[in-house]
Amino acid sequence: MPPTNDPLTSAPRGLFLQELVRILFLLLAGAIYAIALKYFVLPSKVVLTGTEGISAALSYYFESESLFLILYLSFQTLFILFAFFAVSRAFAIRTLIVVLTVVGLLSVLPQLNIADPEPENERIILVIFGGLLAGVAKALAFRSRGSTGDEDIPGAYFATKYLKPVGHIAIFAAIVSTSFGLLLDFLKTGQLESALNTLMYTCIYIFVSAETLNNLYRKFKLTVLTIITRKKEEVKTRIAELLPHRTFTDTAASGGRSNLDYRMMQTIMTHEELPEVKDVLNSIEEVGFYYHQDIEGVSGGYFIRPIS
């Protein structure tokens, strides 16, 4: 029999493959995050953000890696329950996949001395590279509509509610966890210098991981797209088909040299949506030209599709 293109049978298959690819990326995100923790972050003794930081600080104090796993899994369970009820069931399940991958790999990955974590040696390299890997893992999980758990879950919630980059919440979560970690460090060593040294390396880690996340996952960064064209109707139709939730302004314009009549169309969209719109514009013959620029201060009523 010849193959059929019945949308009733092809659509579910396409959705299944899409979800399968998403799960593979979630597993990859969990693997990268576990590697970052196992070989770079925890050996360098920096304080992580949020409840991960509290778990890490207690494991440093009692010198027990198993304690970190127990506390980490306990805290993540509470956050996933919050995600289930406050964000979405699908988002919570995808986050659970990442968290279980992290816990499983942390339990079985062998010990490797990649670099000397002492401050006078390669501790700064461990901190920076660990922050990069952690930021990549978080961005990969978010792009797959999940998260690595912990502060990423309220980060997803508040980013959707207040249109803030997801990495911003890590800065606030770090205040509590870092203060707690530094207190334990001081109680353990009795040396203020040791606590301040840990603070410096922790700040570097938080900055690197948060900036990596915000630069790789740009869902909540907005840009205004300006299109100068004589094909208003075609541009309008194509953009409306691609982004039915977006609108735009349309004003008359004229060429400064040619005196020809043009239309200047402007719309605000996320960096996540921008590549698709540019592909559509490039497919329209003699569309004119367009440019875009990042903006801030958009009112709270602006719609962004939820992460979940």
**Cα angle value 170/133/117 (rounded, 5°):** 95
Euclidean distance between CA atoms 274 and 272, whole angstroms: 6
Q: How many domains does the chain have?
A: 2
- Is 38 found in the same domain as 19? yes
Per-residue b/e over 62-81, b at no fewer than 16 CB within 10 Å? eeeeebbbebbbebbeebbe
Residue 111 has pLDDT above 60, yes or no: yes
Question: Residue 151's domain spans which residues?
Answer: 11-216
- Is 239 found in the same domain as 209? no
Asked, for residue 124, whether it belongs to a domain, the answer is: yes
- Is 163 found in the same domain as 129? yes
- Is 268 found in the same domain as 168? no
Higher local confidence (pLDDT), 1 or 134: 134
Single-letter amino acid, residue 64: S
- Is 127 found in the same domain as 56? yes
Q: Would you state the pLDDT for residue 227?
A: 93
Asked, for residue 308, whether it belongs to a domain, the answer is: no
Per-residue pLDDT averaged across 106-118, rounded? 80
Asked, for residue 2, whether it belongs to a domain, the answer is: no
Give Cβ neighbours of residue 196 (< 8 Å, ≥ 6 apart). none
pLDDT, averaged across the chain: 84
Give 29's pLDDT tier (boundaries 50, 70, 90). Answer: very high
Can you name the residues that pair with 240 across neighbouring β-strands?
none
Asked, for residue 231, whether it belongs to a domain, the answer is: yes
The pLDDT tens digits for 58-98 are 999 998 889 999 999 999 999 999 889 888 898 899 999 99
- Is 118 found in the same domain as 15? yes
Asked, for residue 304, whether it belongs to a domain, the answer is: no
- Is 228 found in the same domain as 165? no
Per-residue pLDDT averaged across 135-155, rounded? 88
Residue 4 has pLDDT above 70, yes or no: no
Q: Answer with the one of 216, 239, 268 that is the final residue of a domain.
A: 216
Asked, for residue 196, whether it belongs to a domain, the answer is: yes
Q: Would you state the pLDDT for residue 7?
A: 45
Residue 192 has pLDDT above 50, yes or no: yes
Q: Would you state the pLDDT for residue 151?
A: 80
Single-letter amino acid, residue 147: S
* CATH classification of the domain holding 243: 3.30.70.120
Asked, for residue 300, whether it belongs to a domain, the answer is: no
Per-residue pLDDT averaged across 38-64, rounded? 90
Residue 163 has pLDDT above 70, yes or no: no
3-state class (DSSP) for residue 12: helix
- Is 245 found in the same domain as 108? no
- Is 290 found in the same domain as 242? yes
Q: Answer with the one of 170, 186, 216 that is the final residue of a domain.
A: 216
Residue 2 has pLDDT above 50, yes or no: no
Q: Answer with the one of 147, 182, 216 that is the final residue of a domain.
A: 216
**Quick one: 12 exposed, middle or buried, by C-beta within 10 A (0-12, 13-18, 19+)?**
exposed
- Is 168 found in the same domain as 36? yes
Asked, for residue 5, whether it belongs to a domain, the answer is: no
Q: Would you state the pLDDT for residue 195?
A: 84
Q: Would you state the pLDDT for residue 160?
A: 65
Q: Would you state the pLDDT for residue 176?
A: 81
Euclidean distance between CA atoms 178 and 166, whole angstroms: 19
- Is 152 found in the same domain as 246? no
- Is 78 found in the same domain as 53? yes
